Structure 1
Amino acid sequence: MHPKTYKKLVAKQFSADFQSAIAIEAVPLPSPTADQILIRNKFAGINAGFDTLICRGKIPYVDLTPPFDLGVEAVGEVVAIGAAVQDFTVGDAVATTVRGGGYREYQVIPAQLAVKVAEAIPEILTLMPTGISALVALEQAGEMQTQETVLVTAAAGGTGHIAVQLAKLAGNHVIGTCGSAEKAQLLQELGCDRIVNYRQENLNAVLEQEYPNSINLVFDCVGGSVFDTCLEHLAVRGRLVSIGFISEYASVPQVVSQPRIYHKLFWKAASVRAFLMPHYAEHMGSARDRLLDLFYSQKISVAINPTPFHGIESIPLAVQYLLKGQNVGKVVVQFY
């Protein structure tokens, strides 16, 4: 027997402060229409950067007016199906990446938006969409080759630790940055060739002393001064792919006064490229299938942050936890 109501997290207003933007609502549990399925979410992935920016109204490709639903990726169990649904049955484990479908106990969506998975485990949340972004950013935006030197910033995070493994599988030398001994231990276990704990070493000094031939490909999740350092050390025809800038998510953009960027790029024919998954949507399906195959065949592993977060009420804490860089691996919230 299903409950009559369930809880979800909504943005009730735009605000620079995530906590003051949100509210928890109890709403009636819907029944699926003919082509829909009703899913009981078991785990949801935390995307603190996206969460804070969307609550400020700062996601350019999303035009929303509060109130609106929050959260994206989730894994759960199909608990009801519409009369016309043929590809799912009650009890199937599914993954979804529907905006507004993550931070809620139940969701009802068109069946074609769900992906059947072997088991509703939190590891899937690291692969979809986080891992998909890592793979497509490296291969499409970054044009990753083999026998290159690849630098991954925030390398022990949800996206970074997948990027490290994909770069290693492609036959590259991988440098990973992190900020704690626990994160460095994870990167060592994943086969990272050079780990730079920025609380103990200076990234610029390490690159100057140990990498005279510079960096072929940078996968940058941090932005700020880390971005500037990586830019300085791009090799001839090097590529810096910006997939985020967590250093500025919790603050207003930093004003920078320095020579224009082409002075750093032109003489090396280097380039800076930004990556945003919606603009590479045609690659999502094949990337998802490849990642699931790599995971099920144990060619890549997934790190789930060990700190537990339970229930809708814990989501603001999880967002702040991630923004502070306390996580080792993907941060998830468990609903049941």
Structure 2
Amino acid sequence: MDTKYIDTFGGFMSTEMVVKGAFDLISDESKAGACLWISNKRGFEYWPTPAEEEKYRVRPKASRKKSADVLQVNVQIPRSFDKIVVHTLNHNFQSATRVVRAPLRLPLKPDHVLMKIIYAGVNASDVNFSSGRYFNGSSKDTASLLPFDAGFEAVGIIAAIGDSVKHLKVGTPAAIMTFGSYAEFTAAPSKNILPVARPDPEVVAMLTSGLTASIALEKAAQMDSRKTVLITAAAGGTGQFAVQLAKLAGNKVIATCGGKDKARLLKDLGVDRVIDYKAENIKTVLKDEFPKGVDIIYESVGGEMFDLCLIALATYGRLIVIGMISQYQGEDGWKPQNYTGLCEKILAKSQTVTGFFLVQYAHFWQEHLDKLMDLYTSRKLKVIVDPKTFLGVHSVADAVNYLHSGQSVGKVVVCMDPMYNNRLAKL
């Protein structure tokens, strides 16, 4: 062999150098998919190089000057990320889902934004989504869509933007309410991005939970002042907002919950009459203490609770159905219930029973999110986040089970990136 030719490339490498390079490559997960060149002349050199990656990384074309709405955090964009997908239709979220590793494809579509998710919110309807109830058509049609991404809401940092996006910047804190929020990253049309002050757990609580309460009470319940308002499951994610908004509007508020700790929390939030169903009979309390009935009822439990609420509804009263959590996790799934004589009951007292589905009120989201944020920053509104910690994508199923256990208080939140969370806390 012509050693002069080999010398032009730096000569033979030692076995130790090759072994060191191999260990360097396999021990650094961020180098997955990269190629390592080893030579005596240039040492270790990875491909693609940072300069080459820059050609394919999406960057904002607008000025990168610091501004009040941009967090100066360096978002590292990986080649792949973890996310939750529904792989089989089942009301048991844990059985229906799995964590998968997905490639992060760049460049983005011109009108899209890539968001680094920091906190994702857990919702009772996660089990409805995993069983396919959010899709129109037969179960066979829904099954043909599998696998699909899970998660309704999240907050984080904008990591990259498409070429045509002018109103958003990399580093901007943002919220998103689209399917696929149980992930480390998500790409979405820029029109779906909701700018926020900070990507905090409290902001997650204001999304599905807070917006449902705010919009439902204003639009569906047509709430004004000096009314009697009943909130069921009031110590939960959305109930905590409903009781406070009803009080701020100048109403007398009744709230149901299960347990002394939850009852104490609701008293602290200003509720006039807390009914702990573990210690009192809800039907008896409503009949004895509110004989004229309740003007507005914000109902999320369903089943027997719905029956009690209908009986307690006053003349001209409005019963707003935002969910029926008691029916979500039955062995046979969600079966519609019959309410015998419903028409006759509401006709006799000119009552209204109204359904509320947040997705159909998307045009009000930003307006009401801004209102909630203003109330929170002015300390007129408290936001309760459940203290139980859930870290990483792999903890999502446990978080969903915890919410349905009845133990949670306030909003259940998953921190998708604990290391990133620690960085934000220092800002």
How far does residue 34 in structure 1 lie from its aligned partner after superposition? Answer: 2.7
2:264 aligns to what?
Answer: 185
**For 2:287, which of 208, 220, 228 is the aligned residue?**
208
Secondary structure at the counterpart of residue 115 of structure 2: strand
What pairs up with 1:303-318 in 2 under 5 angstroms?
303-318=384-399
Q: Which runs of 5+ in 1 are unaligned?
A: none
Larger Rg: 2
What amino acid maps onto 1:81 in structure 2? I
CA distance in 2, matches of 1:284, 1:172: 24
**For 2:103, which of 19, 28, 32 is the aligned residue?**
28
Q: CA RMSD in A?
A: 1.7
Mapped contact 2:91–2:328 kept (Cα < 8 A): no
How far does residue 270 in structure 1 lie from its aligned partner after superposition? Answer: 1.2
The answer to whether the aligner puts 1:131 opposite 2:193 as a matched pair is no
Mapped contact 1:81–1:89 kept (Cα < 8 A): yes
Cα displacement string for residues 5-24 of structure 1 (whole angstroms, at most 9, x for unaligned residues) = 11000001112322221111
CA distance in 1, matches of 2:224, 2:308: 22
After superposition, the Cα gap between the structure-2 partners of 1:280 and 1:39, relative to the gap in structure 1 and judged at 3 Å, is closer
CA distance in 1, matches of 2:254, 2:222: 17
What amino acid maps onto 1:54 in structure 2? F
Identity %: 40
The answer to whether the aligner puts 1:80 opposite 2:160 as a matched pair is yes
CA distance in 1, matches of 2:392, 2:257: 29
After superposition, the Cα gap between the structure-2 partners of 1:257 and 1:16, relative to the gap in structure 1 and judged at 3 Å, is closer
Mapped contact 1:137–1:275 kept (Cα < 8 A): yes
What amino acid maps onto 1:16 in structure 2? H
How far does residue 301 in structure 1 lie from its aligned partner after superposition? Answer: 1.2
CA distance in 2, matches of 1:205, 1:330: 29
What amino acid maps onto 1:113 in structure 2? N
2:363 aligns to what?
Answer: 282
CA distance in 2, matches of 1:79, 1:257: 49
CA distance in 1, matches of 2:93, 2:339: 32
Structure 1 stretch displaced more, 67-76 or 271-280? 271-280
CA distance in 1, matches of 2:312, 2:274: 17
2:178 aligns to what?
Answer: 98
Structure 1 stretch displaced more, 158-167 or 244-253? 244-253
Structure 1 stretch displaced more, 126-135 or 285-294? 285-294
CA distance in 1, matches of 2:242, 2:277: 19
CA distance in 2, matches of 1:194, 1:30: 53
How far does residue 156 in structure 1 lie from its aligned partner after superposition? Answer: 0.7
Cα displacement string for residues 194-218 of structure 1 (whole angstroms, at most 9, x for unaligned residues) = 0011000010011111111110000
When normalised by structure 2's length, the TM-score is 0.75
The answer to whether the aligner puts 1:328 opposite 2:409 as a matched pair is yes
Cα displacement string for residues 215-240 of structure 1 (whole angstroms, at most 9, x for unaligned residues) = 00000010111110111011110111
What amino acid maps onto 1:112 in structure 2? K
Cα displacement string for residues 280-326 of structure 1 (whole angstroms, at most 9, x for unaligned residues) = 33333322222222222222111000000111111111111111211
The answer to whether the aligner puts 1:41 opposite 2:117 as a matched pair is yes
CA distance in 2, matches of 1:111, 1:273: 32
When normalised by structure 1's length, the TM-score is 0.95
Cα displacement string for residues 12-55 of structure 1 (whole angstroms, at most 9, x for unaligned residues) = 1112322221111101122223322221100000013x211122
1:70 aligns to what?
Answer: 150
The answer to whether the aligner puts 1:225 opposite 2:300 as a matched pair is no
How far does residue 113 in structure 1 lie from its aligned partner after superposition? Answer: 1.5
Mapped contact 1:30–1:108 kept (Cα < 8 A): no
Structure 1 stretch displaced more, 149-158 or 84-93? 84-93
Cα displacement string for residues 257-285 of structure 1 (whole angstroms, at most 9, x for unaligned residues) = 66321232222111211111223333333
Greater RCO (Cα-Cα under 8 Å, separation 6 or more)? 1
Runs of 4+ in structure 1 over 3 Å off: 60-64, 252-259
How far does residue 112 in structure 1 lie from its aligned partner after superposition? Answer: 2.3
